[in-house]
Chains A and B, each alone.
Chain A
Amino acid sequence: MAATSVATRPAGLPLQRIRLDVATILCTLLLATVAFVVLYPIVLLAINSFNVAPFGRAATWGLDNWQTALSQPRIVNALKNTVSLAVVRQAIAVVVGIGIAWVLARTNVPGRGWLEMCFWFALLLPVLPILLGWIILLDGHHGLLVTAVRQVFPGFGFDIFSWWGIIAAHLMINLIPLKVFLLTPAFRNMDSSLEEASRASGASTLRTVVRIVIPLMAPTILFVTLLGLIRSMQSFEIELILGGAAKIDVYSTLIYRQVLQSPPQYGTATALSMVVLVGLIPFILLQQHLVARRNFTTVSGKYTNRLYDLGPLKWPTFALIAGLLVFIIVVPVILMILGTFMKVFGVFDLPTGIWTLNNWQRVLADPKLTRGLLNTLTIAGGSMIFSITLFTIIAYVSVRTRYVGRRILDFITWIPSTVPGIVTSLGLLWLFIGTPFFRPLYGTTWVLIIALGFAGLTLGVQLIKASMMQLGAELEEASWASGAGRIYTLRRVVLPLIAPTMAVVALQNFGAAASAVSLVALLGSSNNKPLSLMQLEYMDTGSFEPATVLGVIIFMLTVSAAILARLVSMRWGLGRFDRSR
């Protein structure tokens, strides 16, 4: 026996050798490309943070930028704000998200399919126009809702331009919809007998949720929370607009101010973002560790899913969630659209009347509109296709293959969300202007498509990864056993099952690319100016109302894309996957 087992092992060869096959080479190419695009600008910036010469002069090296970055008292304050805002809003969002996800996935609340779709739709709302709608409602002095409540309770005071205002805006605009979107499928796929066993043991519904459902979902919940916390570092627009008036600085707005100063303090800004990047690495590693260790599989290919009967609470529960959705979607969208017909945005007491069609007339008559519309469609459509393809491949390689570099690949996808967008944009600018090889690409539409595609890297990859992790490995293995290769299996089994998530990621990227400003301003040229830059130009000249018209047009493009995606998926029969309906 001993003799044979020695003979079968070639002497001196390690048992596991790295095989150089086509798949490994392709994966390595992917890793190298992604690493280059993500890391190279950051490395450039890191090096330049030691350059203390004023912008445009010959380089002198020193530590001054770092000293300035680390010695400013405002920085400690900004970091404190960043962390406290992130922790509080994530905590609220996770609790609310768990509640809604449980109701949508595990109970017989009426219209749950529609409610879930509304949360899905809420993810596509553009941040800025919606935020403007919220300001109309919740401005501390003449916000519609604030004054209305004050009629009843004279002592009432709430101002959106505050610490809690920032949190409320985040929760309503994207956090709650995102949590519901991420958690609902996981809750739905949980084996219902586990819950039933708890109820049979005499536990109340609340106790069952707290003691059985949440612990079972703990890996998913932790993953969602960490994803949210890490991404909070990047959040910017809401803090800039709401925090500016309230003098609440966070990390990303502080960096923005550094860059906006004259002369721009690029060195300090990058030094600061390096500090945060390094500080976040442990969190990225922690979530990778959690994901690697815990079992996320919830779609196993075996289904028992009985719903919990809410009884008389059915309609009140529905009303509660539908009411929340009215505030998340209907009210801000109506305000956003109304705003485009107002003479002065948000001002309801003008002596000359408040309504006008001028804004729309002015925009629709703008000769640059058609061109801008086409450019937006090209850039946003291109970057949508590019990003969804890239993200799906990255997610598949890091979840479903045994490629040696898969963890590094996954790690790299987290980097962009630790660095504020303006810093990334600067890095890319350096890359294209400073590297002779890439200089000819500068200003082309291709560059815009790729740069905008990478902008949603973290969230996109993580969303697709999460839904891939929920698929039991056996679903794929059964396909291989049936004689299908990897590509065929991907096409017929994996992609149809994650199609709903892919659609959301694609549409989000479409929306983000269509409304992107800073990247396009830095990397684009006059030839490919999209609607978002026209919007910026209107704003710069103080024409705020036409700018919102463009915001609505961009939003309508995203909605059209969403409807199109829905139609296409019904055509392909992918809608059948929606088991909740």
Chain B
Amino acid sequence: MVSTAPQPAPQFGESSAEPVLRLMNVSKSFGRVRAVDDVTLAVREGEVLTLLGPSGCGKTTTLRMVIGLERCSEGEIVYQGRVVDSATTHVHVPTHKRNMGMVFQSYAIWPHMTVFENVAYPLNVRKVKSSIVREQVSRVLELVGLGGLGERPATMLSGGQQQRVALARSLVFEPKILLLDEPFSNLDAKLREQMRAELRILQRRLGITVLFVTHDQIEALSLSDRIAVMDHGRIEQIGSPTQLYLQPQTPIVRDFLGRTIVLRGTVTKQVSDGALAVAVSTGAFGEIMCEPAEADELHEGDPCFIAIRPEQVQVVPAEATGNAGTSGNRLQGVIEALLFIGERYEARIALPWGDHILLYLPPTIAWREGQTVALFFPRDQVRVWNA
């Protein structure tokens, strides 16, 4: 056995390659406020990792520490195997030496320069020959769909075009990683969808690593390879979009991603295979069998919440189920309001104990307001949480 220095165990799941960017126990305090609290994560080569959370959750501060606009109060940031910020050794590589591309929320297009000058700036800083600058800038402008607009003053552009200029500027020097700080928040809904798709295609084509900050769950779910949900400066859960959506580990992740129906209940019994029977509301209206969330220990008699995504609830007219009524993970409800929104109905359904839930109904059945419906909660889709 030829023993060399012990190989560091692959810390981050399936990928054993050194991640492009690593944050280790990073914290940031502003006075007494801990904006970022003990964040550890790794961004792998070629992936899109999203920091998702409500405003003020510390995601932008985290991004600013990565690019060096803020310094860590604690912890260490490693980029391409090199420590760029460390609270212990006081290493701090200034922003301009980090070689990371960044698109700012406001785009930060310089108004005194043309589109070409804006995009050429990072190359001019790096003293690239002007013939090569020309070539590279026009290539990257082509890439973001601004070919031929180079001589426009930067202020004479629409919002979407300004955003493309910012993107081109951050890509032109071929950084290893691209940081995006809420890049779509200033665009209108339609443009946002379009830019989202374009960015995804571009990222796939270039294979560039992206660290993306947003508070918009649709953006996060559709663009990311992995999402880190943040709240109060801490990472709640990291995982693939489907993992987070289907198996949220904390109530914050559950409520932040997609819509969730949450009902109050009490645990009535524990079944041998780990499932729990939960009496909803006061217990008089039915019992739901469900899977406990991993983190929670629940016992008989504990108050709890059951949660399910609205699209997982199966709805049928009550008359179609005969008298099966409230048995077998079923509840009854009455359609109170029915809104036709094109491809489906949006229904507000009153439950017998007075709660209301919002569900989507297929347009294939002739629903009507006042109709009694049976709601079927598939057992493997219902999760139970500690109250």
A: residues with CB less than 8 A from B are 1, 4-5, 8-10, 15-16, 19, 299-304, 472, 474-475, 477-485, 488-489, 492-493, 496-497, 573-574, 576-577, 579
Contact = CB atoms under 8 A, between A and B. Distances in A.
A9 B111 contact: no
A475 B108 contact: yes
Interface-centre pick from B74, B110, B125 (highest chain A CB count, 10 A) = B110
B126 interface: yes
B96 A484 contact: yes
29 contacts: A4-B25, A5-B74, A8-B75, A9-B87, A9-B88, A16-B73, A301-B108, A301-B109, A302-B106, A303-B111, A303-B155, A304-B159, A472-B108, A474-B104, A475-B108, A477-B67, A477-B102, A478-B169, A479-B96, A479-B121, A481-B98, A481-B179, A482-B170, A483-B173, A489-B96, A496-B112, A497-B110, A576-B153, A577-B111
B106 A483 contact: no
Contacts of A579: 111, 155
A568 to B, nearest CB: 15
Contacts of A576: 112, 153
A529 to B, nearest CB: 42
Contacts of A496: 112
Interface of B: 25, 27, 29, 38, 67-69, 73-76, 87-88, 90, 94-102, 104-112, 121-122, 125-126, 153, 155, 159, 162, 166, 169-170, 173, 179, 186
Contacts of A573: 112
Contacts of A300: 106, 108
The 4 closest A-B pairs by CB, nearest first: A478-B108, A301-B108, A482-B122, A480-B95
A267 to B, nearest CB: 47
Contact of A484 (B76, B100, B121, B162): B121
Given A479-B121, A481-B102, A1 B107 contact: no
Contacts of B98: 481
Among A483, A492, A496: residue with most chain B CB under 10 A? A483
B112 A301 contact: no
B111 A497 contact: yes
Contacts of B87: 8-9, 15
B74 A9 contact: yes
A15 B29 contact: yes
B67 A481 contact: yes
B263 to A, nearest CB: 33
B98 to A, nearest CB: 8
A303 B162 contact: yes
A291 to B, nearest CB: 19
Contacts, number: 116
A303 to B, nearest CB: 5
A478 B111 CA distance: 13
B122 A483 contact: yes
Given A8-B25, A480-B95, A474 B74 contact: no
B69 A477 contact: yes
B186 A481 contact: no
B110 A301 contact: yes
Point out which of A301, A475, A493 has the most chain B C-beta atoms below 10 A from its C-beta. Answer: A301
Contact of A301 (B68, B102, B106): B106
Nearest to B68: A480
Contacts of B108: 300-301, 472, 474-475, 477-478
A478 B125 contact: no
Contacts of B68: 480
Contacts of B90: 19
Contacts of B107: 301-302
Contacts of A10: 88
Given A475-B108, A576-B153, A579-B111, A302 B100 contact: no
Contacts of B74: 5, 8-9, 15
Given A8-B25, A474-B104, A488-B125, A483 B109 contact: no
Given A474-B104, A481-B67, A481-B102, 14 more contacts: A5-B27, A9-B87, A9-B88, A301-B104, A303-B109, A472-B106, A481-B95, A481-B96, A482-B122, A482-B169, A482-B170, A483-B122, A484-B96, A573-B112
A333 B110 CA distance: 39
A15 B73 contact: yes
A300 B186 CA distance: 12
Nearest to A476: B108
Of A8, A479, A573, chain B has the most CB atoms within 10 Å of the CB of A8
A303 B74 CA distance: 37
Contacts of B162: 302-303
A304 to B, nearest CB: 7
Contacts of A478: 102, 104, 108, 110, 166, 169
A192 to B, nearest CB: 13
Contacts of A1: 38
A471 to B, nearest CB: 10
Max chain A Cβ within 10 angstroms of own Cβ: one of B74, B98, B179:
B74
Given A8-B75, A478-B169, A497-B112, A483 B126 contact: yes
Contacts of A299: 111
Given A15-B29, A302-B162, A485 B104 contact: no
B99 A483 contact: yes
A382 to B, nearest CB: 29
Nearest to B102: A481
Contacts of B94: 480, 485
Contacts of B106: 300-302, 472, 474
Contacts of A8: 25, 74-76, 87-88
A302 B184 CA distance: 12
A244 B107 CA distance: 57
A292 B69 CA distance: 20
Contacts of B97: 483
Nearest to A579: B155
A480 B96 contact: yes
A302 B183 CA distance: 12
Contacts of A477: 67, 69, 95, 102, 104, 108
Contacts of A479: 96, 110, 121
B153 A5 contact: no
Contacts of B122: 482-484
A14 to B, nearest CB: 11
Contacts of B95: 477, 480-481
